Amino acid sequence: MRIGVECGGTFTDLVVLDDDGVLRATDKVFSTPSHPDQAVTTGLRALSAELRDEAVLLHGSTVATNALIERNGARVGLIVTRGFRDVLELQRQDRTSMYDLTYRKPAPLVPREWVAEVTERLDRTGAVLEPLDDDSVRAALARLVTEGVDAVAVSLLHSYADPAHEQRIAVLAEAEFPGLVVSLSSSCAREFREYERTTTTTIDAFLRPRIHQYLSDLEASAHELGIGELHVMQSNGGMVPARAAASAPLSMLRSGPAAGVAGAIAVAENAGVASIVTMDMGGTSTDVAVVHDGRPELTTEVSADGLPVRVPMVDITAVGAGGGSLVDVDSGGLLTVGPRSAGADPGPVCYGKGGTRPTVTDANAVRGLLRPETFLGGRHTLHTEAAREALRPLAERLDRSVEQTAEDVYQLTSIAMAGAIRVTTTERGYDVKSYTLVAYGGAGPLHAATVAEELGMSRVIIPPHAGLASAYGLLTAGFRREFSQTFLSDVSALPEEGLRPVMAQLRAVARDQLQAQGVPLEDADFSFSADMRYEGQGFEMHVDLPHGTGTSTGQLLEGFHEVHARRYGHAESSRAVQVVTVRLAVTRPRPPLVLPRVDIDTELPVHTSPITEKGTVVEAVFRSRRGLAVGAKQRGPAVIEDGTSTTFVPTGWFAHVDEHTNLLLERS
């Protein structure tokens, strides 16, 4: 038995599949942001003991992201090479708000008084210019511990070239202060660029005690309920045992959204579609990603709460437009949506949990797209009139009717999501019209067709149980871990064996770490890639290295020029090319999975009800998704309901059901 539990900002979703891929149970409960494990255990306790017995729990969560945003983590000290105490304060010259005269740089996780210097120095090749002084290390550790730090980050100059000095500091820390949490930059991000490597390491130290405690508590609760193993989704779209995740908390920063992408890939693969755009609209935000030929785009250039993080993650663009996003009118008289959210508590006004400020969900209820008798499968009361009254003051300020204002909110939200998709596709040289949109999350299918129309896309896939797609994604993901090492060299200057020595070194490091964590490697695949650039560029491009290309400079150059031309429309074969970083992805096959289907019942009733569409009131067909058999079609305007999400089919579109019970939306 496999149980997938994904914790979002508003809801926690739970799905149970047996070993034959048969859907045994689903649930959706309100999240508990202050104690996220409570929602998980609440959902698990609702399952029968038979379903829990010796099951594998697969988990995705926003706990790491929330801890960082709320600055609710360990008290971290930092050890650096003498003379580099201000690396976190200086940061970079770029700024996120170029024309903001009151702009302030993001505050470092480590205050300056908790940064300690030690005597040592390497050059960029790893050669020792000044040996590590053990006494200076002991003094630095003693001062930091005396001042009350819970964890220590270590980021020495050029330690990516030789980690020996950092490793020695870890040994001394364990000897002097047993149990002290120590994060090494050579383990977290063995790459050059001092500021980015240091912030990544401080974030690791900041999160590690919190994540370790969270996963330990969750694992203990799961075992009490009869569950056997706990595995955790990583930001790169792969699954690892809880023990491995606790030792690498950075990998959980985008855990939940990555699960949704993994599920969308499985759905698209099953439907015979290779290239998709995913759109996950939850209660707090909408996350979009691009998948080419069944593989998600990955990135190592991620910012979390304004701080750079250099670990591989699924390249997800988030926009603050979710079902719970707050709606307002600004000082200029313009309607605004998000980025602030009503969250799970109090939530939208129509939930009746004490919310007073209107949200996107309230607007959809006022439009007539959500029916009280079927909302969340009829298990939760929908207060449409309360939502209408919450929107009324905004409508009066805009001099519009409440219904017109609700439709404006819907359109503005859809346009914001379309803008996020443009950033991930059109602005990177991809023709979005040639992709299929896969929409999921509780609110995604409500906006999917409108977003697709805004972008010129003609096809949308809504998977079965779309509101639980991220939880399903947890069940589809295989094992994946990433390793990297900076290796700065002109391609023309590579030795005859090319990148093979550094590839062998990375492979050995990966084997040692994974075997120590109890990960079986008999069926593992080791895939290499390189970050490359033209000489003089300040950024790199990711180039896959097919098996056996580590010795061929010609293949390295050919691969880089091809990637550059695809992204920017040109390549300069006469310019010198550099290898900057070599990367290794260790993967294991994902478990066999039969994707869930919709349980069809064509005897279910069909209703009509008025909705607001394009400024007028029209009669729309309302029907259960279970009432649509394979091959059935439904023209818009229509609303197709299930227990976890609602799909809106606008006028000019039609929906039909494929052989896998996916709901396909296409233009008429």
Q: Is the distance from CB of 116 to CB of 156 less than 8 angstroms?
A: no
Most confident of 44-48, 153-157, 506-510: 153-157
Mean pLDDT, residues 399-409 taken together: 94
Distances (CA, A) of 12 to 127, 230, 256, 347, 470: 51, 17, 10, 14, 10
Distance CA 643, CA 466 (A): 9
| Residue type at 129 in one-letter notation | L
**Burial of 24: CB neighbours in 10 Å, binned 0-12, 13-18, 19+:** middle
In sequence order, which residues have a C-beta less than 8 Å from that of residue 357 and are 6 or more positions away?
Answer: 326, 327, 328, 342, 349, 390
Distance CA 8, CA 443 (A): 13
Burial letters for 400-422: b for 16+ Cβ neighbours within 10 Å, e otherwise?
eebbebbbbbbbbbbebbbbbbb
Confidence of residue 632 (pLDDT cuts 50, 70, 90): very high
pLDDT of residue 619: 94
Q: What's the DSSP call for residue 226?
A: T
Q: Within 13 A of 76's CA, how many CA atoms are on the CB side?
A: 31
Of 386, 327, 321, 320, whose CA–CA distance to 351 is shortest?
386
Distance CA 321, CA 340 (A): 9
Distance CA 581, CA 192 (A): 9
pLDDT averaged over every residue in the chain: 89
- The residue among 94 and 127 whose pLDDT is bigger is 127
Of 211, 277, 246, whose CA–CA distance to 62 is shortest?
211
> Residues 32-86: pLDDT tens digits?
877 888 888 988 888 888 888 888 899 998 888 888 888 889 999 999 999 999 9
Share of the chain above pLDDT 90, in %: 51
Residue 251 structure tokens: 């990998």
Distance CA 361, CA 323 (A): 5
Residue 493 structure tokens: 């200057």
Distance CA 363, CA 391 (A): 8
Does residue 597 carry a pLDDT above 80? no
Share of the chain above pLDDT 70, in %: 98
| Residue type at 632 in one-letter notation | A
Mean pLDDT, residues 148-173 taken together: 96
Backbone angles phi, psi at 580, to 5 degrees: -110, -50
- The residue among 133 and 513 whose pLDDT is bigger is 133
Output the pTM of the full model: 0.86
Distance CA 187, CA 185 (A): 5
